[in-house]
Amino acid sequence: MAERTVVTLGETLAALVEGKKYATLRDILVTMNAVDVAGIFEEMPEEKLPLLFRLLPKELAAETFVEMEPEAQELLIRGFSDHELKEVVDELYVDDAVDIVEEMPANVVKRILRQADPEMRKMINEILKYPDDCAGSIMTTEYVSLRPNMTAGEAIQRIRCTGVDKETIYTCYVTENNRKLVGMVSLRTLLFSEDEDVLENIMESNVISVNTLEDQESVAQMFTKYDFAALPVVDQENRLVGIITVDDAIDVLQEETTEDFEKMAGMAPSDKPYLRTGVFETWKSRVPWLLILMLSATLTSMVLTGYETSLAACSALIAFIPMLTGTGGNSGTQASVAVIRGLSLGEVEFSDTFRVVWKEIRVAVLCGVTLAACNFVKLMVVDRFLLHNEGVTVLVAAVICVTMVFTVLCAKAVGCLLPLLAERIHLDPAVMASPFISTVVDVVTLVLYFQVARAILHI
């Protein structure tokens, strides 16, 4: 049976590029989503990007440009004529334009702002003045604003006239003359209302909003809590200055989750994809934590040196040190990850410290006793009788198992307390995750191990 050859879309498009079948290529690209087009462009040779981009219709080109990586965006901008750049900028939503401006070098930013119309330039500059990681920095100023004395018919007509350039028209906001937010109304409500119905009678007056300086992570979590499609952003005087849409909230959650994972793994956060991050840049993000953890491991060496006599008296204890420290590190990591997740989702606060610790202590006792019982059977059956390790006596097994219980107990206490303390002093709790906790627990485990050994074996 002949072997089937599978040809991917990327390979097909690449073949069309090589064969200069540009009309066919354009016909395929216009049927695709902007995200997929951007993904295809990333696989193409850089020198072909400007040509491929020019094949796209104006609106699809702008949407694709937003989805591309900053390096590819910069490459295209440098190759654009002023007219081409203006066409792209005119099609961008303000928040997307701000994201691009923040990623570009200064000389490229100047070109972008020169081609933006005065109103767009003003809105971009207004958003750029807000600190990073706050609601103001991720909002867009393109929203539909209605007046409370409008009728439903007038509101729909206004949406028809002004909504084409807005980021969303499904949720509209009702403001007074001074832009004070007084209510919101959905497009669904307007469509099912009578044309004569006045907005102040059909709008929702109890509007959930966020301040411009609210942390972007807590704002993004509000979308998951309330199932919003958009969220209004107000200033200190409750004046509407912008909105945040659900797609921006998803981007924030993805960025924050990635950052937490990197911190939990002992790496400096990076906003670049893995394969696009250079070796030297990756080295810089990892080596500081590795150095800190390596130096902190000196404490472990000091503990071992301090109990050198005990180790010499009962060499069988040495073989089980990795198992105990590994179990302690794993136990601490379990507790820390659960607490860090609770803190990030707002399920746990510092005021819940006693409840968290009390819960983890009870879990630790159950886990520790279970592990110790299983380990005792394993030591007696496998190590002593099957492997004929005469050094593993009942008393040595007792030392290991008692230490196991105390190790799990201490590890889970440390694992849940450190993230809570980090939150209290306004540090990212993710910093107190796996590598840091493992180092602390290793030292505690060794001290417990040799103290229990001294008490039971009298060494």
Pairing outcome for strands 145-146 and 210-211: unpaired
Q: What is the pLDDT of residue 1?
A: 39
Own/partner long-range contacts of 164-171 (Cβ < 8 Å, ≥24 apart): 166/142, 167/93, 167/95, 167/140, 167/142, 167/143, 167/230, 167/243, 167/245, 168/143, 168/144, 168/229, 168/230, 168/243, 168/245, 169/144, 170/229, 170/230, 171/229, 171/230, 171/243
| Predicted confidence band of residue 3 (pLDDT cuts 50, 70, 90) | very low
**How much is the pLDDT for 58?**
85
Distance from the first to the final alpha carbon of the chain: 74
Find the mean pLDDT for residues 369-384. 91
CA distance 383 to 381: 6
pLDDT band of residue 280 (cuts 50, 70, 90) is: confident
pLDDT tens digits, 177-217:
888 999 999 999 999 999 999 999 999 999 999 999 998 88
* Contacts of residue 302, Cβ cutoff 8 Å, sequence gap at least 6: none
User: Among 51-65, 224-238, 298-312, 368-382, which is the least confidently predicted range?
Assistant: 298-312
Give 5's pLDDT tier (boundaries 50, 70, 90).
Answer: very low
Pairing relation of β-strands 230-234 and 210-211? parallel
* Exposed/middle/buried for residue 312 (C-beta within 10 Å: 0-12, 13-18, 19+): exposed
**Tokens matching residue 230:** 């958009």
Distance of CA 113 to the CA centre of its chain: 30
> For the stretch 262-299, what's the b/e string if a residue is b when 16 or more beta carbons lie within 10 angstroms of its beta carbon?
bbbebbeebeeeeeeeeeeeeeebeeebeeeeeebeeb
Token pair 């390596």 in the structure block, residue = 294
E strands, 136-291, in order: 145-146, 171-175, 181-186, 210-211, 230-234, 240-245
Q: What is the mean pLDDT of residues 222-231?
A: 88
What are the structural domains of the chain?
9-129 (1.25.60.10), 145-245 (3.10.580.10), 297-457 (1.10.357.20)
Strands of the sheet with 230-234, listed across from one edge: 210-211, 230-234, 240-245
Amino acid in position 65 = F
Per-residue pLDDT at 373 exceeds 60: yes
Look at residue 6 and tell me whether its pLDDT is greater than 50.
no
Mean of all residue pLDDT scores within the chain: 84
Output the pLDDT for position 157: 94
Tens digits of residue pLDDT in 104-137: 888 888 888 888 888 888 888 888 888 888 899 8
The tens digit of pLDDT for each residue in 65-86 reads 888 888 888 888 888 888 888 8
Q: How confident is the model at residue 2 (pLDDT cuts 50, 70, 90)?
A: very low
Answer with the residue of higher pLDDT: 150 or 318.
150
Cα 10 to Cα 201: distance, rounded to the nearest angstrom: 54
Q: Which of 249-263, 345-359, 416-430 has the lowest mean pLDDT?
A: 249-263
The rounded percent of the chain whose pLDDT value lies above 90 is 25
* Residues 357, 417 contacting (CB under 8 angstroms): yes
When pLDDT is averaged across residues 378-392 and rounded to a whole number, the result is 85
pLDDT surpasses 70 at 262: no
pTM above 0.75, yes or no: no
